[in-house]
Structure 1
Amino acid sequence: MTQPADSEHDLATQILIELYSEIPPPSKLVTGHFHSGGDYRVVRPDGVGSWYLLYTAAGTGQFQIGGDSLTLGHGNLVLVSPGTEHDYGTVGTYWESWWAHFQPRREWHAWLSLPQAMPGLSYVRLPRASETDRVVSAFGRLHRDAQRAGLSPTGDTELNLLEKSVAVELTMNGIEEVLLTAVASLRHTTQHLDARVQLVLDAITADPARQHTLTSLAGLAQISVSRLAHLFKEQVGDSVMNVIVALRLQRAAELLGATDMSVAQIARAVGFESPHYFSRQFGRRFGMSPSSHRKAVRNPELELY
């Protein structure tokens, strides 16, 4: 709870913190473009349930986690993993930023292993004008698509189900372009994923429903279980099993929208032995039950994300 303000300036800061600290549901795809003044700050001690992509177009901002801080200027891109503490705001008088909360597509997990500046927060500095121009252009397009789909704070257009689905996919394509631009920017300064980690990531992405274990995957990579666990977490940013569960849940969400399979059938199809455990994990990831998600996808009056 924010303490009572002692001055008009403190009151303005308090209002902004409360306004912008509203937590989006884990399953909701949300985008935005902020021109923020000196009082802008977001505080979420427990983070959010989605990935958060933030790009600084102008001015200066700062992200803090624990006792560490990262100052953000023009061309800086950060990617914050689910559950990571949020405490960020304007430094000085002005900060222009583009941002998106999203759940990644299955094939994106290899791209989410950007260099970590702090636990749970990856950071890329885009040094070339061609890269910053491309990112701003991509954010502008994805934000307009999100507005059309009603996924941004200012979006109010009502579309039919097909139009909304197309707008959502175009929004995700824009996020994908931003991520790939960041990955491409690092090609001369960072190494690719360790070949053994890439082998494991390819295996679980190709068939997440398979009953993978750390032992079987370590055997595939021909390294010890402890070494695999360490390398994978270090380079991908999450544990092997968490990534497998995330891939299974993403596939389940696709099946819920595209088929008439029962929840129990889908649970088994994506690799969960217990439908109850599947439903609990699905609710934790997407903020709603599998049945509610199916209704939301198929009913144009409800939000897709």
Structure 2
Amino acid sequence: MTEPADYEHDLATQVLIELYSEIPPPSKLVTGHFHSGGDYRVVRPAGVGSWYLLYTAGGTGRYRIGADSLTLRVGDLVLVSPGTEHDYGTVGTYWETWWAHFQPRRDWHAWWSLPQAMPGLSYVRLTRPSETDRLVSAFARLHRDAQRAGLSPTGDTELHLLEQNLAVQLTMNGIEEVLLVAASSLRRETRSLDPRVQLVLDAVTSDPARAHTLNSLAGLAQVSVSRLAHLFKEQVGDSIMSVVVGLRLQRASELLGATDMSVGQVARAVGFESPHYFSRQFGRRFGASPSDYRRSVRNPGQC
């Protein structure tokens, strides 16, 4: 359940422009996860025949429709309706996304209305670690289920078709979970975050590996450390440094699955000075050591 191989590129010197309107077919369920380089771009002037769900897990991207443009950062979820122009790409050095093309179940329309940022494009920014972690986990599961749904028959065709249908339904359950988390977040957030909290949240989510301290972040927000800590905990639901560590660990999990960097290299790349401390924190978050986690991601059938 992946798009053509030339869909993914991480060469910063090459601009990728895909011009098509029939891929994927409207009825086909397609999911994916990719890291794109600095000049990645996709253009589909007529859109596609399916709904498109796009979540930013790292870096920065941009979605443009006509003269309107929307910058996408960590925690941003976009839902694009069929036939809506696709023109999106990386901003800066990289952009990491989870995505899915799908057709919704009929009963979803009773609750899945999300605020429109542009005609044909709905947008939600998720800020709570409990929500962003859940979305990444849901996308990872639904992507694995989508891959299972595309397995070739192994003997018993009838049994294969049953397994395939179950995998498709599990994939749809994952997409439904993503949308429900977004809808629940909107219902709960009756007011926007304090601008000072939002400023700090944007700073740590855009660059979690940076040596953030409470003093530096309080200076950025121009409030005292104690006042910032209180506001942040009250509105985000977690402490600032807990959010920073969570973001670093999430990025580490992505690097472990997508690169051949050593555990020590990954630790340093995401902002941990001590590999041992990193491994302890990683084990608490993911229930496995970094090395075991890498093996489970790369060889799911052997774990």
TM (norm. structure 1) is: 0.55
Q: Does 1:171 align with 2:171?
A: yes
After superposition, the Cα gap between the structure-2 partners of 1:40 and 1:158, relative to the gap in structure 1 and judged at 3 Å, is: farther
Letter in structure 2 aligned against 1:36: S
Partner Cα separation in structure 2 for residue 103 and residue 184 of structure 1: 21
CA deviation after TM superposition for structure 1 residue 23, in Å? 2.1
Counterpart in 2 of 1:12?
Answer: 14
Taking only the aligned residue pairs, the percentage that are identical comes to 80
1:64 aligns with 2:61: no
User: Distance in 2 between the 1:190 and 1:104 partners?
Assistant: 27
**Alignment pair present for 1:42 and 2:42:** yes
Report Cα offsets for 1:87-127 as digits up to 9, x if no partner: 00000110000000000001111233100000000000001
Q: Say whether the 8 Å CA contact 1:41–1:88 is kept in structure 2.
A: yes
SS of residue matched to 1:12: coil
**Is contact 1:53–1:80 with CA below 8 Å preserved after alignment?**
yes
Residues 142 and 174 of structure 2 are in contact (CA less than 8 Å); yes or no, is this contact kept in structure 1? yes
2:18 aligned counterpart, secondary structure: helix
TM-superposed deviation, 1:40: 1.2
In the alignment, is residue 132 of structure 1 matched against residue 140 of structure 2?
A: no
| Cα shift readout 1:36-89 (whole Å, capped 9, x = no counterpart) | 111211100111111000000000000000000000000000000011000000
2:87 aligned counterpart, secondary structure: strand
Other structure's SS at 1:166 match:
helix
Can you give the 5+ residue segments of structure 2 that lack an aligned partner in the other structure? 1-10, 155-159, 192-303
8 A contact 2:12–2:93 mirrored in 1 = no
- CA deviation map 1:180-226 (0-9, x unaligned): 000000013369xxxxxxxxxxxxxxxxxxxxxxxxxxxxxxxxxxx
Aligned residue in 1 for 2:114: 114
Q: Distance in 1 between matches of 2:121 and 2:28?
A: 20
Q: Which aligned segments of 4 or more residues in structure 1 are displaced greater than 6 angstroms? A: 19-22
Q: How many angstroms apart in 1 are the aligned matches of 2:190 and 2:114? A: 9
List aligned pairs for 1:98-247, cutoff 5 A. Answer: 98-150=98-150, 156-158=151-153, 160-189=160-189
Are the equivalent residues in 2 in contact too, given 1:57–1:97 (CA < 8 A)?
Answer: yes
- The answer to whether the 8 Å contact 1:38/1:90 transfers is yes
Question: How many Å separate the matches in 2 of 1:10 and 1:90?
Answer: 10
- Structure 1 residues 116, 163: CA separation in 2 closer, same or farther (over 3 Å shift)? same
What SS is found at the alignment partner of 2:55?
Answer: strand
What is the root-mean-square deviation of aligned Cα atoms in Å? 2.2
CA gap of 1:57–1:22, structure 2 versus 1, over 3 A, is farther
Structure 2 CA distance for aligned equivalents of residues 39 and 21 of structure 1: 22
- Given that 2:20 and 2:44 are in contact with CA atoms closer than 8 Å, whether structure 1 keeps it comes out as no
Pair 1:94–1:140, CA change in 2 (3 A): same
TM-score, structure 2 length as denominator? 0.55
- Corresponding residue of 1:28: 28
Q: Which of the pair has the greater relative contact order for Cα pairs under 8 Å at 6+ separation? A: 1
Structure-2 separation of matches of 1:168 and 1:75 = 26
CA distance in 2 between partners of 1:32 and 1:10 (Å): 20
